[in-house]
Amino acid sequence: MPALEMPQNLTRKQYNANSLDVDTDERTVTAVISTDIVDREKEVLVPKGAIFENYLKNRVVLWAHDYKQPPIGKALWVKQQRNKISAMIKFAPTEKAEEIYQLFKGGFLNAFSVGFQPLEYHQPTPDEIKKTPEWANASRIYDKWEMWEFSAVPVPANPEALAVAVKSKDVALSQEVADELGLEVEETVYVATGAYVKTKKFDNESGVIVEPVRTDNYITTDVIIHTDNYVDTREVGREVAARMLGRMY
């Protein structure tokens, strides 16, 4: 079988896991992370051809193949079968990992992607196509490949449902993850119509005004703006609030 021309390149293949097993007590997700289907690039990863020796020495699970950031979890096990590869992911006790875990738990994320080094490949033969007709559309079958890592990736199972959940505050997303998912995090600001304003940070949960801040025409998330004589908690959009502040300063 021919070797790839550039075997050192890291290749990524994404798989949408339609069925996830979430254990809320253990904070684990069990999912299929790769199969032998023909992907969007018309290529096939043969599960039996996967090599895990090096990966099992460092079983990290990343977010979106970001090697510069700490892992969001680890693989408790990886199972190699004839037509798929499954894994159980234990999420790390970090803020970012908890955020990603909750999205999987809620059914808003369901995608994983393997990062691997191709080793051997071939074009599908007539006998293979006869046995597996869908391989007729494949340009390359990877017979042997080494998995370097696998990642949870930002592909929402239902982006519209996730957007609604974010807007209704049923799901709390950091700005970083929202940007990666292509969603807007709705921010709430409170403004007062006075000639002069002071600003202080406002804790929505406790209702307590905490450390003083000045906006200087920039709205921070969740602030309450008041005059010397009264507090107005009239909610407006972020852009409208910014224009009002621009007029008042």
Which residue range is the domain that position 55 belongs to?
11-161
Q: Is the pTM of this model over 0.75?
A: no
Within this chain, do residues 24 and 144 fall inside the same structural domain, yes or no? yes
Within this chain, do residues 33 and 80 fall inside the same structural domain, yes or no? yes
**102-126 tens-digit pLDDT:** 999 988 888 899 999 999 999 999 9
Of the listed ranges 73-82, 112-121, 187-196, the least confidently predicted one is 187-196
Within this chain, do residues 139 and 238 fall inside the same structural domain, yes or no? no
Within this chain, do residues 130 and 88 fall inside the same structural domain, yes or no? yes
97 lies in some domain: yes
Q: Which of 161, 181, 210 is the last residue of a domain?
A: 161
**197-246 tens-digit pLDDT:** 344 444 455 444 444 444 443 333 334 444 444 444 444 445 555 554 45
2 lies in some domain: no
Quote the number of domains for the chain: 2
Q: Give the Cα separation of 79 and 85 in Å (integer).
A: 6
On the question of pLDDT at 31 being above 50, the answer is yes
Q: How many residues does the chain have?
A: 249
In the block, tokens 């290749």 appear at 11
221 lies in some domain: yes
